[in-house]
């Protein structure tokens, strides 16, 4: 049973029902792999191996595979695929077409997925093309195998044993990524260690890249801005110093000798104490362009993902405004192979926040989204929070940058501005835990991210259904129940931790439990920096009489969010400081509404526990029980959030708890 967790959504157990099996068997006498080259490459070999594994499990069949060359199909782009029922030598077969071998690999996984889901292959005729070109994982893994904000064990990369010892897990990891269409991975932490750029480590990195490449995955690294000083013996890392540029040129050339298809660098600079171009009086564009130049030289197609998660604690500008202030003046100054990587929100990965205004503000710059799969602010791998609904909310959010319909999805896939380079990143929730993600249901977040990276127009609900069907052997009723539990779970976390637009009131450091009272240290950690509670009310005033952060958004949003009558409840305290007795849309005073939301969060956890209890015996005991135990801890956590926050805010509101809210014990 332990295998159930390890295999993720790639289970390939025999399909139920004789008829379905025999239907699949007769539809799949053979499989044709068609690419423009028609060559048997390592990626094609992976596709064939997956097909053998999948069909062997699902229908006990080892198919004949024909590899053929075909015309270029422009509509499939670089990575898209077509699946079609065809006849080969009088026998029924399925043809998987891609312009590239990667397209065939993705088509193979899609075919197997269809069968796992029990879909018919008769008259099969469909195509799928990813909307985003570079679909990446970001690992915040340190070289000592500690994973920053990782809640599922240690880093998967066994640095001490590489390059000689290749853990079989590397391939299982790569398969899991490829199965959803992910084609790149940044293997080390954004808080970077320059050592990874030394020959000793590059040899290890190369060994990982060799495994990943066979599954269509390119490897990327984070580069520490001060590396020329730390490992290069230079006295400066000034991006405009020719010796520094020469050092990076040589370093990049060296990396390509180890990893010929190296994808490029991800850089966190001048943020949270990391080195960067500001240390030398230069700007982000100077820094990014210096690294980007050699990545585009000599026919290379490497890129720089320059992070916009920048702020300085010493700066007393509202933290949510700082990235915009630093980056917007640089619009148009970045080289073509630089893409600015923006977290979905302007603060950090809150359970809910307004979107980062940068998405609507840099028309001449390539922009990508960074989503967080690991649940840093949503209860680690203890609490259940299916993040599909949050990402759907983000990707469908309208920036109004070019009028209505300028969604973040369209900014990120490049269609809004016609930028050819598009990318998306998800901060991984994986580790050495046997089931990869700690919480058995947190695998759904890894899966959902991959599916959305391929097609950001899929709905969270669709993906939850798909994942559940692939992951559990459950009857329809039980599967629907799991989907419903997943779908409500993120809002439940919002309710018991930071409802109505409250944000960043968690305990400092670990970010797990409540800490609205945090004091001292840095300016943005001095209470009440984020919630602004006082005897009048609560919430951050970001309007015209406050920090004016709202001016960083399009007029449509400024009007909607800036007005107390039209701002949605879920962003109310993000944008406004609201009196405790303010009458909410529900007719209740704010204080009562807030208290009831906290209570609602706790009630929802109770309801979720009851629903989960009913699933006993309807899925495997192991994953059922592991989830049940975590829900018990989550219940305790939810009460702690409610009690701590209400007791704290009550000092200011000086009002009694409304009826229906349980007082703290």
CB of residue 281 to ligand GCU, shortest distance in Å: 23
Neighbours of 78 (CB within 10 A): 13
Q: Which is nearer to ligand GCU, 34 or 274 (CB)?
A: 274
Judged by beta carbon, residue 372 or residue 435, the one nearer ligand GCU is 372
β-pair partners for 65:
31
What sign for the dihedral angle of Cα 136, 140, 144, 146? Answer: negative
CB closer to ligand GCU out of 189 and 627: 189
User: How many angstroms separate the CA atoms of 40 and 29, rounded?
Assistant: 20
**C-beta closer to ligand GCU: residue 5 or 346:** 346
**Binding site residues, ligand GCU, CB under 6 A:** 148-149, 190-191, 268, 309, 348, 376
Minimal distance in Å, beta carbon 269 to ligand GCU? 10
The 10 Å Cβ neighbour count of residue 565 is 6
Known active-site residue 230: no
465 is catalytic: no
Min dist. Cβ of residue 254 to ligand GCU (A)? 27
Q: How far is the CB of 502 from ligand GCU (least distance, A)?
A: 18
> Minimum distance from CB of 344 to ligand GCU (Å)?
12
Catalytic residue among 62, 254, 272, 621: 272
Closest residue by Cα to residue 4 from 386, 384, 435, 429: 435
Q: Which of 511, 369, 377, 391 is nearest to 444 (CA)?
A: 391
Select 350 or 354, whichever has its Cβ closest to ligand GCU.
Answer: 350
Q: Select which of 4, 318, 348, 392 is catalytic.
A: 348
For ligand GCU, which is the closer residue by CB, 259 or 308? 308
Question: Using the 8-state DSSP alphabet, how is residue 197 labeled?
Answer: G
Q: CA 126, CA 124: separation in Å to the nearest integer?
A: 7
**Cβ–Cβ under 8 Å, residues 303 and 295:** yes
Nearest distance from C-beta of residue 146 to ligand GCU, angstroms: 11
Tokens of 21: 């099996």
CA–CA–CA angle 587, 589, 590 (5° rounding): 115
Closest C-alpha among 316, 326, 353 to residue 547: 316
Cβ 606 to ligand GCU, closest distance in Å? 30
**Interatomic CA distance for residues 68 and 101, integer angstroms:** 11
C-alpha closest to that of 118 among 441, 463, 455, 476: 476
Residue 525 and residue 517: Cα distance in Å, rounded?
Answer: 9
Residue 502 to residue 594: CA distance in whole angstroms: 10
What H or E segment, with its residue span, contains residue 516?
A: none
- Distances in Å between the Cα of 426 and the Cα atoms of 334, 357, 462, 473 are 23, 19, 19, 28
Annotated active-site residue in 376, 398, 604, 637? 376
CB of 369 to ligand GCU, least distance (A): 13
**Helical spans, DSSP H, in 259-357:** 284-296, 319-327
**CA-to-CA distance for 152 and 438, rounded, in angstroms?**
5
- Residues linked to residue 398 through DSSP beta bridges, in sequence order: 407
- Cα-flanking dihedrals φ and ψ of residue 423, to 5°? -160, 160
Give CA 527 to chain center in angstroms: 30
Can you tell me which residue has the tokens 């959504």?
A: 9
Specify the residue, 149 or 300, whose C-beta has the smaller distance to ligand GCU. Answer: 149
Which residue, 252 or 347, is less far from ligand GCU as judged by CB?
347
The DSSP 8-state label assigned to residue 343 in this structure reads E
* Least CB distance to ligand GCU at residue 266 (A): 10
Q: Where do runs of H (alpha helix) occur along 226-379?
A: 227-230, 242-258, 284-296, 319-327
Catalytic site includes residue 348? yes
Residue 507 is given by DSSP the state P
- Rank residues 309 and 648 by Cβ distance to ligand GCU and give the closer one: 309
Closer to ligand GCU at the Cβ: 218 or 268? 268
CA distance 105 to 182: 11
339, 366 in Cβ contact below 8 A? yes
- Write down the least CB distance from residue 231 to ligand GCU, Å: 21
Q: Which residues are catalytic?
A: 272, 348, 376
């Amino acid at each position: 049973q332990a295998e159930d967790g390890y295999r993720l959504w790639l289970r390939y157990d025999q399909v139920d029902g004789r008829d379905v099996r025999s239907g699949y068997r007769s539809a799949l006498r053979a499989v044709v792999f068609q690419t423009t080259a028609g060559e048997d490459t390592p990626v094609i070999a992976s596709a064939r191996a997956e097909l053998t594994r999948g069909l062997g499990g699902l229908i006990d069949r080892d198919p004949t595979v024909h590899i053929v060359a075909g015309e270029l199909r422009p509509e499939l782009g670089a990575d898209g695929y077509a699946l079609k029922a065809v006849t080969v030598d009088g026998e029924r077969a399925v043809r998987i077409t891609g312009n590239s071998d990667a397209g065939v690999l993705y088509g193979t996984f899609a075919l197997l997925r269809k069968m796992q889901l029990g879909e018919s292959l008769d008259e099969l005729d469909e195509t799928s093309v990813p909307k985003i070109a570079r679909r990446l994982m970001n690992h915040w893994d340190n070289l000592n195998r500690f994973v920053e904000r990782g809640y599922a064990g240690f880093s998967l990369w066994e640095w001490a044993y590489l390059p000689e010892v290749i853990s079989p897990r590397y391939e299982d990891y790569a398969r899991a990524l490829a199965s959803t269409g992910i084609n790149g991975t940044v293997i080390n932490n954004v808080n970077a260690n320059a050592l990874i750029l030394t020959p000793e480590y590059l040899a290890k990195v190369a060994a990982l890249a060799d495994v990943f490449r066979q599954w269509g995955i390119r490897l990327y690294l984070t580069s520490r801005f001060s590396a020329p000083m730390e490992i290069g013996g230079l006295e400066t890392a000034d991006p405009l110093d020719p010796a520094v540029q020469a050092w990076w040129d040589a370093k990049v050339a060296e990396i390509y000798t180890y990893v010929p298809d190296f994808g490029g660098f991800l850089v966190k600079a001048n943020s949270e104490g990391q080195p960067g171009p500001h240390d030398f009086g230069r700007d982000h564009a100077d820094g990014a362009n210096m690294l980007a130049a050699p990545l585009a030289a000599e026919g290379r197609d490497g890129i720089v993902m320059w992070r916009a998660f920048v702020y300085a604690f010493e700066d007393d500008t509202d933290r949510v405004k700082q990235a915009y202030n630093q980056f917007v003046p640089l619009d148009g100054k970045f080289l073509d192979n630089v893409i600015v990587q923006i977290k979905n929100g302007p603060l950090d990965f809150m359970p809910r926040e307004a979107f980062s205004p940068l998405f609507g503000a840099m028309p001449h710059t390539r922009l990508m989204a960074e989503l967080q799969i690991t649940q840093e602010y949503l209860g680690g791998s203890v609490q259940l929070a299916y993040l599909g609904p949050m990402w759907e909310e983000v990707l469908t959010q309208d920036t109004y940058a070019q009028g209505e319909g300028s969604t973040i999805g369209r900014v990120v896939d490049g269609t809004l501005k016609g930028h050819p380079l598009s990318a998306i990143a998800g901060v991984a929730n994986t580790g050495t835990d046997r089931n990869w993600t700690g919480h058995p249901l947190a695998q759904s977040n890894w899966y959902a991210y991959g599916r959305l990276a391929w097609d950001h127009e899929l709905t969270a609900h669709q993906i939850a259904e798909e994942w559940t069907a692939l992951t559990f052997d459950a009857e329809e009723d039980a599967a629907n129940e799991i989907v419903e539990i997943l779908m409500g779970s993120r809002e439940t976390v919002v309710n018991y931790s930071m409802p109505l637009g409250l944000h960043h009131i968690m305990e400092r450091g670990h970010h797990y439990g409540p800490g609205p009272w945090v004091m001292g240290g840095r300016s943005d950690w001095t209470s009440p920096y984020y919630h602004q509670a006082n005897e009048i009310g609560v919430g951050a005033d970001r309007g015209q009489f406050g920090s004016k952060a709202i001016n960083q958004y399009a007029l449509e949003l400024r009007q909607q969010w800036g007005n107390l009558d039209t701002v949605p409840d879920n962003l109310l305290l993000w944008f406004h400081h609201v009196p405790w007795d303010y009458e909410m849309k529900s007719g209740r005073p704010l204080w009562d509404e807030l208290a009831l939301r906290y209570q609602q969060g706790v009630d929802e956890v109770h309801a979720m526990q009851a629903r989960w209890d009913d699933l006993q015996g309807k899925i495997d005991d192991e994953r059922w029980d592991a989830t049940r135990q975590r829900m018990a801890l989550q219940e305790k956590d939810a009460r702690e959030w409610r009690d701590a926050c209400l007791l704290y805010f009550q000092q200011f509101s000086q009002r009694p708890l409304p009826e229906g809210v349980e007082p703290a014990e």
